[in-house]
């Protein structure tokens, strides 16, 4: 069974931003898919189960952006 979470990420403005966030989040254990909606800053993550918020925040930080909401 898959679990999908929605996050709001600040600072994404282009295709490179999408790639950077997607790459970092797909490295988290159990993540199957990452979809980014650039105009809204929404990032949808499909995984095996709920992801620890601190791990998601760290991944987004590593990409160079800021997690601002769930």
Q: Residue 51 is part of a domain; what is its CATH number?
A: 3.30.70.100
In three-state secondary structure terms, 40 is coil
Query: How many domains does the chain fold into?
Result: 1
> Domain containing 60: what range?
3-69
- pLDDT of residue 1 exceeding 90: no
Burial class (CB in 10 A: 0-12, 13-18, 19+), 12: buried
Q: Is 0.85 surpassed by the pTM of this model?
A: yes
Per-residue pLDDT of 30-45, as tens digits, reads: 999 999 999 999 999 9
């Amino acid at each position: 069974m898959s679990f999908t979470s929605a996050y709001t990420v600040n600072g994404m403005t282009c295709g490179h931003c999408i790639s950077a966030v997607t790459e970092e989040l797909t490295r988290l254990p159990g993540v199957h898919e990452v979809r980014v909606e650039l105009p809204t800053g929404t990032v949808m993550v499909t995984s095996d189960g709920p992801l620890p918020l601190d791990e998601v925040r760290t991944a987004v930080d590593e990409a160079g952006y800021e997690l601002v909401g769930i």
